[in-house]
């Protein structure tokens, strides 16, 4: 790709993601199959305007997520489009609906202002509430948010299992997943390691809405239980604490509060796994460097280097041991042990 084409591709990136968002929002990816369907039928079944439907489907096909028949009257789904179906095992539909949805779309407009005045958390500026309090008060957004976390986890869980393949879990009997959301990671760890029991510590609105929880879906309710709570207050004792995509939501001071709080209830020799995007050296392009800007818009947090996580652990009563990576290096698992 020439530098001109590459620049064009990035400049118009938002158009592409909004087109895909519209396809997901209107149920197009869940409806279409590999058998071509007539445009009139598609519009009728999805209750859409036929002429407009043709134009949006043509644009989605142009991105490779659908296939348009030679005659322009039919559409079918492609393997790329399948990834945007709700029921795909690695579904990215939840991520798309959250990150291109109305709440998150709005916060990006604050970016130039934040870079000037140094005040991050556009979510707070835009909605007058931090993201988790807003989710607690908005059932529709909360569902989109929690489904998106499972959608992210559909990517992350397999990366964590790969990174920790060969890790000795035999000394752990109880894991606490702090802010474990719908429990995708904890349930899959329990499914792999039969001797484990676990607790998902979550905010009340998440615990009260378990329709889509993974312990329920995977029949693991006896071994994976929910506990309503606040990680800034009480944390239950466990041999291993997992925090996936938690610390990147918070600034350093807040992270030290959370980890010190975990440390208070952690038995001797207990461990912590911090699972995050890890920012690599300055010369390596990495998704974490983009996600960091999203965290700037959405929260008080940031993405960090391995050394920055090590420093936070050391300031909270933990000692850094090592970091495990999957082959993609998209995320990392930082292991710490209780030091005092
Ligand atoms: C970015 S999500 C990550 C969810 C999950 N760990 C994952 O990776 O899919 C952050 C989670 O932290 C939870 N959370 C936020 N503040 C919390 C608090 N004070 N106590 C407990 N959980 C909290 C949210 O409800 C949300 O599920």
319 and 251 within one domain: yes
Task: Quote the ligand 1 centre to 189 CA distance (angstroms).
Answer: 18
118 and 64 within one domain: no
Q: Which of 85, 116, 141 is the last residue of a domain?
A: 85
Q: What CATH number is given to the structural domain containing 78?
A: 1.10.10.10
Q: Would you state the pLDDT for residue 169?
A: 97
Q: Would you state the pLDDT for residue 329?
A: 97
In a domain, 92, yes or no: no
**pLDDT 10s digits, 306-323:** 999 999 999 999 999 999
Instruction: Say what angle helices 3-11 and 13-25 make with each other, to 10 degrees.
Output: 40
Q: Would you state the pLDDT for residue 177?
A: 98
Q: What is the DSSP letter of 327?
A: T
Closest protein CA for atom 4 of ligand 1: 181
Closest protein CA for atom 16 of ligand 1: 132
Best residue among 180, 187, 212, 246 to mutate for probing ligand 1's pocket (most ligand atoms within 8 Å of CB) is 246
In a domain, 312, yes or no: yes
In a domain, 49, yes or no: yes
**Token pair 């309503």 in the structure block, residue:** 228
Q: In this structure, what are the phi and psi dihedrals at residue 266, rounded to the nearest 5 degrees? A: -80, 130
Task: Quote the ligand 1 centre to 244 CA distance (angstroms).
Answer: 8
Instruction: Please tell me the distance from the alpha carbon of residue 99 to that of residue 297, in angstroms, as a whole number.
Output: 12
Task: Quote the ligand 1 centre to 89 CA distance (angstroms).
Answer: 22
Q: Which of 30, 64, 85 is the last residue of a domain?
A: 85
In a domain, 195, yes or no: yes
Q: Would you state the pLDDT for residue 211?
A: 81
Cross-strand partners of 77: 66
Report the domain count for the chain: 2
294 and 162 within one domain: yes
SS3 track for 235-291: CCCCCEEEEECCHHHCCHHHHHHHHHHHHHHCCCCCEEEEEECEECCCCCCCHHHHH
Q: What CATH number is given to the structural domain containing 173?
A: 3.40.50.150
Q: Would you state the pLDDT for residue 111?
A: 98
> What residues make up the domain containing 233?
97-338
102 and 36 within one domain: no
Q: Would you state the pLDDT for residue 72?
A: 82
Task: Quote the ligand 1 centre to 180 CA distance (angstroms).
Answer: 6
Q: Would you state the pLDDT for residue 250?
A: 98
68 and 126 within one domain: no
CA distances from 170 to 26, 173, 193 (A): 46, 8, 9
**pLDDT 10s digits, 266-279:** 999 999 999 999 99
Closest protein CA for atom 27 of ligand 1: 181
Find out whether 182 and 150 touch, Cβ atoms under 8 Å: yes
Q: Which of 85, 105, 137 is the last residue of a domain?
A: 85
DSSP 144-157: HHHHHHHHHHHHHH
122 and 153 within one domain: yes
Contacts of residue 318, Cβ cutoff 8 Å, sequence gap at least 6? 259, 263, 272, 336, 337, 338, 339
Q: Flag residues of the chain having pLDDT under 50.
A: none
Ligand 1 neighbourhood includes 94 CB (under 6 angstroms): no
**Token pair 């960091």 in the structure block, residue:** 292
In a domain, 252, yes or no: yes
229 and 111 within one domain: yes
Q: Would you state the pLDDT for residue 71?
A: 87
127 and 75 within one domain: no
Q: Which two tokens stand for residue 1?
A: 């790709």
220 and 180 within one domain: yes
Strand, helix or coil for residue 316 = coil
Closest protein CA for atom 1 of ligand 1: 245
Task: Quote the ligand 1 centre to 203 CA distance (angstroms).
Answer: 8
Task: Give the H/E segment covering residue 6.
Answer: helix 3-11
Q: Closest Cα partner for 112 from 102, 100, 125?
A: 125
255 and 158 within one domain: yes
**pLDDT 10s digits, 216-231:** 999 999 999 999 999 9
In a domain, 71, yes or no: yes
Find out whether 317 and 259 touch, Cβ atoms under 8 Å: yes
């Amino acid at each position: 790709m020439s530098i001109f084409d590459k620049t064009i591709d990035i400049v118009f990136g938002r158009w592409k993601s909004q087109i895909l968002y519209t396809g997901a929002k209107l149920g197009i990816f869940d409806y279409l199959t590999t058998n071509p369907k007539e445009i009139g039928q598609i519009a009728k079944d999805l209750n859409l305007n036929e002429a407009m439907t043709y134009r949006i489907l043509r644009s989605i096909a142009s991105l490779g997520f659908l296939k348009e028949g030679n005659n322009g009257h039919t559409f079918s789904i492609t393997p790329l489009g399948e990834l945007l179906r709700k029921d795909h095992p690695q579904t990215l539909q939840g991520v798309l609906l959250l990150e291109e949805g109305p709440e998150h779309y709005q916060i990006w407009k604050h970016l130039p202002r934040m870079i000037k005045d140094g005040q991050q958390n556009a979510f707070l500026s835009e909605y007058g509430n931090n993201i988790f309090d807003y989710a607690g008060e908005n059932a529709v957004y909360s569902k989109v948010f929690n489904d998106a976390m499972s959608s992210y986890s559909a990517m992350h869980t397999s990366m964590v299992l790969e990174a920790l393949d060969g890790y000795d879990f035999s000394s752990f009997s109880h894991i606490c997943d702090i802010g474990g959301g719908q429990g995708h990671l904890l349930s899959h760890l329990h499914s792999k390691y039969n001797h484990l029991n676990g607790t998902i510590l979550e905010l009340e609105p998440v615990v009260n809405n378990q329709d889509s929880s993974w312990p329920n879906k995977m029949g693991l309710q006896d071994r994976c239980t929910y506990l309503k709570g606040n990680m800034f207050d009480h944390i239950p004792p466990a041999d291993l604490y997992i925090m996936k995509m938690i610390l990147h939501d918070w600034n350093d001071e807040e992270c030290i509060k959370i980890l010190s709080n975990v440390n208070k209830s952690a038995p001797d020799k207990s461990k912590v796994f911090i699972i995050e995007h890890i920012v690599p050296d300055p010369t390596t392009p990495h998704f974490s460097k983009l996600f960091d800007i999203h965290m700037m818009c959405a929260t008080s947090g940031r993405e960090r280097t391995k050394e920055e996580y090590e420093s936070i652990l050391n300031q909270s009563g933990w000692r850094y041991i090592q970091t495990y990576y999957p082959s993609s290096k998209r995320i990392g698992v930082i292991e710490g042990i209780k030091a005092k």
